[in-house]
Copies of this chain bind each other. A is one copy, B any other.
Amino acid sequence: MVLKIRKTKVAAPACPLTACMAVMKGAWTPNIIWSLSGGPRRFGELQHDIPRVSSKVLSQRLRELQARRVVRRRVLDTSPPSAEYELTELGLELVPAIQAIVRVGVKIAHPERAAA
């Protein structure tokens, strides 16, 4: 006998999930957005925030995020010349999701503090 597929009880379809995960693709992308959620950061500052990321991967992800209109790049007229990255309005929309992930991460990392 054939088992019937029960109707899912989940309200929204999986496609918005996939759409959002496409933006956060890459192991370091959430960290980049998280770091930028505190305000504009320079390239070197991002590397400082995310210690084990290579400059190659960091610049790759930043370029992708710019292409997706999540991050904006501004060249500053300083000496030496430097650049600043900041979240766009679209990028700011991602912050609550990252915050939720961080909250869970805290629970996973410190189960004893889960009561709080």
Contact = CB atoms under 8 A, between A and B. Distances in A.
Contacts of A38: 8-10
A109 B10 contact: no
B16 A31 contact: no
Interface string A92-114: 01101111111111111100000
Contacts of A93: 104, 107-108
B42 A3 contact: yes
Nearest to A82: B3
Interface of A: 1, 3, 5-6, 8-10, 12, 14-21, 23-25, 27, 30-31, 34-35, 37-39, 41-42, 44-45, 48-50, 78-80, 82, 90, 93-94, 96-109
